[in-house]
Amino acid sequence: MQFSVPFGTPDFVSAAVERLVDDTHPLNAAIAALPSGALQSQLLLQRFCAGPRANYWLRALPLVAGARLAAALDRDSVAAAVGLLTDNRDSPETRAALVERLPLPVGMGGLGIGGRARNVAAAALASRLNPLRAGRATSPALKALAVGVCGGLPAFILGVAVPAWVRAAMGLAASLLPRMGIVQ
């Protein structure tokens, strides 16, 4: 498993994402192949080993590559969990309800498995805003940039052209940044 994030052309990054996805298949298969009496172990391994391996990548990859990676990882982990927790007697509605609840935290009735595709943009945004939060106290340039970000995120922060739905979400985020202590 490579923990450094690929940096280069879109083709190079895409190939690295595909390699990471291919590397996760054997782990999910090994977890699913454990004896049926080891359900708790299988779910814990799925949640704490198979899932978090790529979280760092999701924070650092360009949004398009991160979304592709998150979708592939979610598909594999949710399929494995559904295979462990359901059988032929379960209705499609039951399976759909399970898929909806799997990403929820345990305290909310879920298992914390999957759900990365929903959080890719937020993870990338948080990763790019952390240096602003850390440096705004000591660097006038970073403080000015942090204040500028509140008016709308420029494309260079996200690393891609900003779609309209992201701009709308950033308007909401901009109203929350001062309350979170990122900007004043």
Task: Give me the helices (H) in 33-163, please.
Answer: 39-45, 55-60, 63-85, 92-101, 116-135, 140-150, 155-158
Output Rg (C-alpha) for the chain, integer angstroms: 19
Cα gap 38→18, rounded to integer Å: 30
Rounding to the nearest 10 degrees, give the CA dihedral for residues 118, 125, 175, 138.
160
> Helices 92-101 and 63-85, interaxial angle, to 10°?
130
pTM value is 0.64
Written as six digits, the tokens of 139 are 């660097």
pLDDT tens-digit readout, 131-178: 766 666 677 776 666 555 554 554 444 444 455 655 566 666 666 556
pLDDT tens-digit readout, 29-84: 888 888 888 888 888 888 888 777 677 788 778 878 888 888 888 888 888 888 88
